[in-house]
Amino acid sequence: MRLLEFQAKELFREYGINLLPSRASKTIEEAKTYAKELGYPFVIKIQVPVGGRGKAGGIQKCQNDDELELKYPQILGLTIKGEKARAILLEKMADIKKELYLSMFLNRSKRCYTIIASPEGGVEIESVKNQIIKEVGLGNVSDEIAREVAKEMKLEGKLADDFADILKKLAKLTVEKEAELAEINPLAIMQDGSLMALDGKFVTDDNSNFRHDELQKYQEKTEIEERAEKSGFSLVELDGDIAVVGNGAGLVMSTLDMLSDNGGKPACFLDVGGGATTESVYEALTLISKMSRVKGILVNLYGGIVKTTVVAEAFLKAYEDNLINLPVFSRLKGTESEKAKEMLKNSRTKIYDSIEDAINAAVLGIKK
Amino acid sequence: MTDIFKLLKGNPEDSDYKKKGVIVQGITGAYGSLHAKNMISYGTNIVAGVTPGKGGQKFEGKVPIYNTVKEAVDVTGAKISIVFVPAKFFLDAAKDALEAGIKLLVAIPEHVPVRDTMEALELATQKGAVIIGPNTPGIMIPELIKIGIMPPTPFKAGRIVVLSKSGTLLYEICDALTNAGFGQSITIGVGGDPINGTRMIDAFEMVKDIPDLEGLVIIGEIGGDSEEVLAQRIIDIGFKKPTVAYIAGRAAPKEKRMGHAGAIVMGTYGSAESKVSMFNRANIPVAKRPSQVPVLLAGKMQKSD
């Protein structure tokens, strides 16, 4: 799960990492109350779980009530990379001397936690040449390591002490919450010489959710996503019109790619997992029936031992129950496929021998 | 370097050559028992099951069940184990196995927390053991031994090595390979998690020197950089066997997890473009769809003739 900036900052605050005064709001009325509390000037920042907010105009300065009333609704109405505003953060303006970068992340190829620090902050770290990289095993950062990084950052005196302190706190937070990434960018040196986290990015390992009840308040799920999770499905909603269903993440991704190559637009990625049964396919169709943009369904099931007749039953039942009235284009690898084809002969579900054929038919069928 | 064939088959002078014993952890669960049966019917020598609290019973009236891996190892001497326990119990099961002297641990569960995988790996390194997975379909030498959950029909004995992050794509592509006359010498599922017990590059090191190896198929997907690291290694050592890759997830949106915990593009890290361009640099063609893999492989073989 990727936390929003203000949620990441809640965790930073809890772990004693210095922050500017800020308040998260959902309405202009709330914002006006907080404005009195904070005092002008401050910045308002859109809260979305994606990067590139500044470029998209999602971060603005406010000097007075008039500016707030003008800019707040503008930002609240923005959609950035398909993501709508979850909240607007009001944050006190700051006098910055210099911006640094600091993060700790799960290094997949080295299979350990890794610190990245840089004296150049405030920009995307990929574009920064001057990076200090330190592998730290399971994530325990000793005083010695923290000081070493501060030294390599060429920080001295109190600034070096403060930096080492923040690094240790960030490491503790990363390990205790089982994060894949904890990033402070920028970590600012203020005019008064203090260090402050001006932005925060925090991504946790969903598979460790069962150990972190305290993080569940940050979980946001639509009804469809919740139902998918309950059934053990993986679902990613997309903005096209052909729903893509299959078993196995790799196979569904592959189907999405082939559909896109042929000019089709996927409406969702839906992996029903493991084997396919009448019940699981029926539930998948139920979820798809709730997505209004869908005009057709593409099904790609590879079951070495799955009986395709079992899957055909789910389609028939879905039509019978008036659950769906959409065309289904399917490729079902498994036993009894001739019988399944016979069963579906007069329905709106067609079975094709190859996924390529099913995709061609789907793209043509939807255009009509 | 781990000699994976020796681990799986043993030495020709062994009395149990090609019939090495395998322990199934979680053998009494629905999933574990189903696949234990399937493995037995494939010919895998399942010598014991482990389910805490069910020691003394027998699985299918034949396979003895023990409370701990240690007891199972003491009696059977097995060095291989396959784990089917729920994800949250994986770390305990892995510790039990590794402490008992298991040298090859095949970790089937999906949704194991990354931290638990890292801890299990640390212990495996100390003990000189190999973990395949988690979130893997397993490992197999077709027509000899299957330690995993793969259906048997797509696979045929042969001389192509297949390494895959995905389960269903492994089946799909091996099916296409088999139909085109390319049997497989070994297939290794590295798994779809962010942290793999055996990475693509580790799996490659295990198989690159097989004497009668005729070709290599790499089935990757978005997320991480294990395909890039492998392509670089192939360039560095001048590996010349015909090699073909497939990458799933070209059309996936950024910063969304596509089913597998590891299948996520962060910025440019983990993107399909990055992987495809590295394979191109290594002179490895990348198939656009699974059915193209055998075609490209045949093309590569003709060129190398």
pLDDT of the residue at A275: 67
pLDDT of the residue at A81: 85
Tell me, yes or no, whether B222 lies in a domain: yes
pLDDT by residue (tens digit) across A36-66?
Answer: 999 999 999 999 998 889 999 999 999 999 9
Considering only CB atoms, A257 lies closest to which of B175, B249, B263, namely B249
CA-based nearest distance B87→chain A, Å: 9
pLDDT by residue (tens digit) across A150-203?
Answer: 999 999 999 999 999 999 999 999 999 999 999 999 999 999 999 999 999 999
Q: Do B259 and A271 touch (CB under 8 A)?
A: yes
CB-based contact, B268 to chain A, within 8 Å: yes
B232/B229 Cα distance (integer angstroms):
5
- Percent of chain A predicted with pLDDT > 70: 99
Same domain, B293 and B180: yes
The mean per-residue pLDDT over the stretch A268-276 comes to: 85
CATH number at residue B14: 3.40.50.720
Chain A to chain B, count of Cβ pairs less than 8 Å apart? Answer: 159
Catalytic residues of A: 101, 183
CB-based contact, A249 to chain B, within 8 Å: yes
Q: Do B114 and A207 touch (CB under 8 A)?
A: yes
Same domain, B121 and B19: yes
- Percent of chain B predicted with pLDDT > 90: 95
B294/B212 Cα distance (integer angstroms):
19
Give me the residue label for tokens 């109190």.
A158
The dihedral built from the CA positions of residue A341, A342, A343 and A347, taken in this order, carries a sign that is positive
CB-based contact, A127 to chain B, within 8 Å: no
Q: Do B258 and A207 touch (CB under 8 A)?
A: no
- Percent of chain B predicted with pLDDT > 70: 99
Domain boundary among B102, B132, B162: B132
Instruction: Using an 8 Å CB-CB cutoff, list chain B residues near A252.
Output: 258-259
Strands B184-189, B157-164: pairing kind: parallel
pLDDT band at B305 (very low <50, low <70, confident <90, very high): low
Tell me, yes or no, whether B139 lies in a domain: no
Q: Which of residues 36-75 of B touch A (CB under 8 A)?
A: none
Asked whether residue A367 carries a pLDDT value surpassing 80, the answer given is no
pLDDT of the residue at B5: 92
Instruction: Using an 8 Å CB-CB cutoff, list chain A residues near B267.
Output: 51, 124, 126
Q: Do A106 and B195 touch (CB under 8 A)?
A: yes
Helices (H) and strands (E) in chain B, counts: 10, 14
pLDDT of the residue at A304: 66
pLDDT by residue (tens digit) across B26-78?
Answer: 999 999 999 999 999 999 999 999 999 999 999 999 999 999 999 999 999 99
Considering only CB atoms, B171 lies closest to which of A2, A253, A302, namely A302
Same domain, B173 and B110: no
pLDDT of the residue at A305: 65
The mean per-residue pLDDT over the stretch A64-76 comes to: 96
pLDDT of the residue at B303: 79
pLDDT by residue (tens digit) across A77-123?
Answer: 999 988 899 999 999 998 999 999 999 999 999 999 999 999 999 88
pLDDT of the residue at A265: 96
CB-based contact, A180 to chain B, within 8 Å: yes
Candidates A81, A253, A356: best to mutate against B (most CBs of B within 10 A) is: A253
Greatest mean pLDDT among A222-231, A330-339, B47-56 lies in: B47-56
Query: b/e for B198-223, b at 16 or more Cβ within 10 A?
Result: bbbbbbbbbbbebeebbbbbbbbbbb
Candidates B89, B108, B115: best to mutate against A (most CBs of A within 10 A) is: B115
pLDDT of the residue at A287: 94
Same domain, B191 and B159: yes
The mean per-residue pLDDT over the stretch A139-158 comes to: 96
Q: Do B151 and A269 touch (CB under 8 A)?
A: no
pLDDT of the residue at A126: 81
What rounded mean pLDDT belongs to chain B? 96
pLDDT of the residue at A201: 96
Same domain, B198 and B125: no
Nearest-5° Cα angle at B303, B302 to B304: 95
Query: Model pTM?
Result: 0.94
B244/A223 Cα distance (integer angstroms):
41
pLDDT of the residue at A340: 86
Catalytic residue among B260, B261, B284, B297: B260
Same domain, B103 and B183: no
CA-based nearest distance A38→chain B, Å: 33
pLDDT of the residue at B181: 98
Task: Give chain B's domain count.
Answer: 2
Same domain, B128 and B166: no
Q: Which of residues 85-114 of A touch B (CB under 8 A)?
A: 106, 108-109, 111-112
Tell me, yes or no, whether B268 lies in a domain: yes
Same domain, B95 and B59: yes
Tell me, yes or no, whether B140 lies in a domain: no
Asked whether residue A142 carries a pLDDT value surpassing 80, the answer given is yes
B58/B49 Cα distance (integer angstroms):
8
CB-based contact, B257 to chain A, within 8 Å: yes
Whose CA is closest to A302, among B219, B153, B180? B153
Cβ contact B259:B144 at 8 Å: no
Residue, of B27 and A308, whose pLDDT is higher: B27
Q: Domains in chain A, start-ordered, CATH in brackets?
A: 21-92 (3.30.1490.20), 96-216 (3.30.470.20), 223-367 (3.40.50.261)
Strands A200-204, A2-3: pairing kind: antiparallel
Q: In chain A, whose CA is at the least distance from the CA of B219?
A: A250
Range of the domain at B70: 4-132
pLDDT by residue (tens digit) across B132-178?
Answer: 999 999 999 999 999 999 999 999 999 999 999 999 999 999 999 99
What rounded mean pLDDT belongs to chain A? 93
